[in-house]
Amino acid sequence: MFESFDLSLVDWSRAQFALTAVYHWLFVPLTLGLSFIIAIMETIYVRTGNEEWKRMTKFWMTLFGINFAIGVATGLILEFEFGTNWSNYSWFVGDIFGAPLAIEGILAFFLESTFVAVMFFGWEKISKRAHLISTWLVAIGANLSALWILVANAWMQNPVGMVFNPETARNEMISFWEVLFNEVAVSKFLHTISSGFLLGSMFVVGISAYYLLKNREILLAKRSILIAGIFGLLSSLLVIYTGDISARTLAKAQPMKFAAFEALYEGKERAGLVAVGVLRESDRKIGDKAVNDFVFRIEIPGFLSVMTGGSPETFVPGISDLVNGNPERGLLSVSEKMERGRIARDLLIEYKEARKINDTEIAESIAATFRDRKFNEEFFRYFGYASIDKPEEVIPGVKVSFYTFHVMVMLGFLFILIFSLALLFLFRGTLRKNKWFLWIALFSILLPYVASELGWVLAEMGRQPWIIQDLMPVTTAVTHVSTGSVITTFILFAVLFTILLIAEVSIMIRQIKIGPKN
Amino acid sequence: MNSFVSLLKRIFRFYYEGFTTMSWWGKRIWTILLIKLFIIFLILKLFFFPDFLKKNYRTDKQRSEHVLEQLTKQH
């Protein structure tokens, strides 16, 4: 991009952010899912008065507490990184990003953290009902926290509800509701929290399977599998359903990402969905980027078209259509978008010059143009393309997008099978006999973590080169600090987070081995 | 006023008793939590993560001019 630009700075800054986000996301989804499972168990305790349910609730609450305490505040580092390493981005989006994050901090986090204390210290000190309400509020608070973070992230994927103010060089929110009900935000939130429910359920099923293998805590394990099996099965169906909605939303908001995760180069009607496939770089190229061909694939004919538009006749644009344009289908080429982006940028340069010479009349007239809806729809929405040198730069890593998406989807279907088998064996009374399944359930604890992290890799790497879709590429967003300092903090984080993770896992394993109190 | 003070006392006692009667894992977790917060806020934030724009530019006007410069860079 920029001639004197140190690309390794961008790469290291991205790697640093990715490392922090990946580690942070190891703690979050368990909080989202386990909190609801605990609340369901405690509800049964309050309704039945059966002390065994209370014992179960307390045991899972202990594991929840370990995860919550170790994971809490790890996300704050991401906010530090915005200010230090992504300062241009941070300033550019400030008002839009700030609002949901402030609500998250004030409302959801305080709700969550206040009632966590009541949940842990309040047994026998407040009424059963008040304690139960606290537990539910922790679950709701945790998920509300996720809502605001995901709203902010969804805006980066699909920027809506704002207008750019050239005087402050910031985007300003003009519709809070448009930002909140951004279709990417809605589908992302539902998909993410349901995947957290799934992960929490697998965690409970896996640890319960461990107890059954060890021939101890049989009643607790079976009841836990009953709750987590049902909750997990419903969640995994919800994950598939919301994933389908997400894909349809992406096809509209981020068609390049959508085409990349299916490795679809030539757009077509009756496009098939690849169930399994292996890619290989071919000799064909788009600009200087090699086209990936399938070595082999198993495809569901026409299903991608159905998924996208509800009918096999729906045209799904491919990567070539999106780069070179397809006038028949109303698709602009990247070159055309670059031209429009440059018009918006040149107007911003004119504004800057007018301000320098104190020509308020011209400056005001340009500022008014930036508020104009038509200008925004036709030119400013392509602002980021002004920083693109070659059209093929907008193609994300196709192999990464393809494999992360397909492994995630395959795991999604595997989870349905595992929860179904857990319930089937439980109802038949053969759970303890099927040791092979108990071992699979135990080791499957790791799989939802893999699927969840892959989902984020797909979401974030699939939209490259953008930090804000079409408005700002990562190269413009990054702060010009020394690459060495970014590498230093990368190593620091790697060490800090690894220590935290080891602490969590070791305390948790110890607590699981001790088991619930009698 | 008296009821407010009594409420504060009750809240304090609630937390005090909660912390003092905590199990081994609770105490260990709190130790890790405090060390982690110390590292995040007093080491990382202070020495490694200054706010670039706040540190290098005194006013919002200067900050917006810097970002505008970055946004309008031509190549």
Q: Does A87 touch chain B (CB under 8 A)?
A: yes
Instruction: Look at residue A109 in the predicted model and tell me its pLDDT.
Output: 66
DSSP assigned state of A105? I
Q: For A14-18, A25-29, A66-70, which range has the lowest pLDDT when averaged over its residues?
A: A66-70
Nearest CA in chain B to A67: B29
Task: Using the predicted structure, report yes or no on whether residue A40 has a pLDDT greater than 80.
Answer: yes
Helix ranges (H only) for A429-482 are: 435-443, 446-461, 474-477
Write the residue in A69, A87, A492 that is nearest to B52 by C-beta.
Answer: A87
Q: For A82-86, A449-453, A510-514, B26-30, which range has the lowest pLDDT when averaged over its residues?
A: B26-30
Task: Using the predicted structure, report yes or no on whether residue A47 has a pLDDT greater than 90.
Answer: yes
β-bridge mates for residue A165, sequence order: A170
Instruction: Look at residue B6 in the predicted model and tell me its pLDDT.
Output: 86
The CA distance from A271 to A264, in Å, is 9
Q: How is residue A123 written in tokens?
A: 């047994």
Contact B49 A84 (CB under 8 A): yes
Question: Reduced to 3 states, what is the DSSP secondary structure of residue A357?
Answer: coil
Yes or no: say if A20 and A5 are a contact pair by the CB < 8 Å rule. no
Q: Please report the sign of the dihedral spanned by the C-alpha atoms of residue A439, residue A221, residue A69, residue A451.
A: positive
Q: For A161-170, A265-274, A438-447, B43-52, which range has the lowest pLDDT when averaged over its residues?
A: B43-52
Tens digits of residue pLDDT in A359-397 = 888 989 999 998 998 999 999 999 999 999 999 999 999
DSSP assigned state of A268? B
Instruction: Look at residue B26 in the predicted model and tell me its pLDDT.
Output: 81
Task: Using the predicted structure, report yes or no on whether residue A2 has a pLDDT greater than 50.
Answer: no
Which residues of chain A have a CB within 8 Å of the CB of B20?
Answer: none
Task: State residue A385 phi and psi, 5-degree precision.
Answer: -65, -20
Interface subset of A 329-368, CB within 8 angstroms of B: 345, 348-349, 352
Task: State residue A397 phi and psi, 5-degree precision.
Answer: -65, 110
pTM of the model: 0.90
Q: How is residue A326 written in tokens?
A: 């397809």
Task: Using the predicted structure, report yes or no on whether residue A424 has a pLDDT greater than 60.
Answer: yes
Q: How is residue A461 written in tokens?
A: 């790497």
Q: What is the distance in angstroms between the Cα of B12 and the nearest Cα belonging to chain A? A: 12
Cα separation values, A213 from A202, A208, A218, Å: 16, 9, 10
Which residues of chain A have a CB within 8 Å of the CB of B37?
Answer: 73
Contact B44 A80 (CB under 8 A): yes
Q: Which of A117, A109, A231, A95 is nearest to A171 (CA)?
A: A95
Burial class from Cβ neighbours inside 10 Å (0-12, 13-18, 19+) for residue A507 reads: buried
ipTM, 2 decimals? 0.80
Contact B51 A84 (CB under 8 A): yes
Question: Reduced to 3 states, what is the DSSP secondary structure of residue A284?
Answer: strand
Give A110 or A485, the one with higher predicted confidence.
A485
Neighbouring C-beta atoms of residue B11, cutoff 10 Å: 11
Burial class from Cβ neighbours inside 10 Å (0-12, 13-18, 19+) for residue A193 reads: buried
Percent of chain A with pLDDT over 90: 64
Helix ranges (H only) for A104-217 are: 110-121, 128-157, 176-180, 183-213
Contact A348 B51 (CB under 8 A): no
Interface subset of A 37-76, CB within 8 angstroms of B: 62, 65-66, 69-70, 72-74, 76
Most confident of A160-164, A200-204, A350-354: A200-204
Neighbouring C-beta atoms of residue A117, cutoff 10 Å: 16
HEC assignment per residue over A303-337 = HHHHHHHCCCCCCECCHHHHHHCEHHHCECCHHHH
Instruction: Look at residue B37 in the predicted model and tell me its pLDDT.
Output: 83
Give B12 or A73, the one with higher predicted confidence.
B12
Q: Give the mutation candidate from B7, B70, B73 for the A interface (greatest A CB count, under 10 A).
A: B70
Pairing mode, strands A170-173 and A162-165: antiparallel
Tens digits of residue pLDDT in A90-148 = 899 877 877 777 777 776 667 776 788 888 888 888 899 999 999 999 999 888 888 88
